[in-house]
Each structure stands twice: as C-alpha cells, then as structure tokens.
Amino acid sequence: MSPTKNNAYVEAKVHGFDIKVLSDDYPKISPLMYSVDMFVPLINFHQAEYWMPNANRGSTVIHISWCKLTTGGTLRIWMWIQIIAGWMLSSLLIVGLSGLIKK
C-alpha cells in the first residue's frame, strides 16, 4: 500500500542520512476499514483517499514473458473486485428493499 498524497512524507535525519519517512500527521491505514470503504459504495471512511495498492511493488506472483503480476498488483485486482461486487450487491439490496422486482 502506498500513500496517495504528496504531503505523506517528510524529511528526517537517520544516522546522519537525510531520508523521507511517513509523516506522523498522515492518516494510518486500517486494513478492515479500507476493505469496507472499497466494498460499500455509500460509506466513506476516507481510507481510499489516502492509500492505494501499488501494482509495481511487492514480490512477483506470476511472471510470463508478457505479464508480470506482483503482490501489489494482486491487491489492486482484489480492490477492483470488491468495488464491482459492492456496487452490484448494494444495487440488488436497494432493488429488493424497494420492491421493484416482484414474482
């Protein structure tokens, strides 16, 4: 997971070296709330605004000559599946509760 905002990192001096570290003011990621934020379209926990799966990072899962899938890419695919499933199930719930579909 990678931060999406430019102000996520601040300069810090560690063992005499200048490095960028995640700011203490930047919102921390909650995996459960991130998943709910992706799955339920009407709820916004602001996790998706600050974090995104980085498809270019992580260890390699599949490497074929034309395709390289990393663990970050797998997380991004899972995110898309959650978004699609969330919209579909939410739509079905609304249709079911409103009584638009009858026998």
Nearby residues of 89 by Cβ (< 8 Å), 6 or more positions away? none
Question: Which one is predicted more confidently, 67 or 47?
Answer: 47
What is the reported pTM?
0.70
Would 13 be classed as within a structural domain? no
pLDDT of 83 higher than 80: yes
Would 41 be classed as within a structural domain? yes
- Give me the number of domains the chain comprises: 1
Would 67 be classed as within a structural domain? yes
Q: Which domain holds residue 65?
A: 28-98
Angle subtended by helix axes 71-98 and 31-39, to nearest 10? 50
Provide the 3-class DSSP secondary structure of residue 81: helix
Would 56 be classed as within a structural domain? yes
Would 91 be classed as within a structural domain? yes
The pLDDT value given to residue 88: 93
**pLDDT digits 0-9 by tens, 11-32:** 888 888 888 888 888 889 888 9
CA–CA separation, 26 vs 91, rounded Å?
A: 34
Would 4 be classed as within a structural domain? no
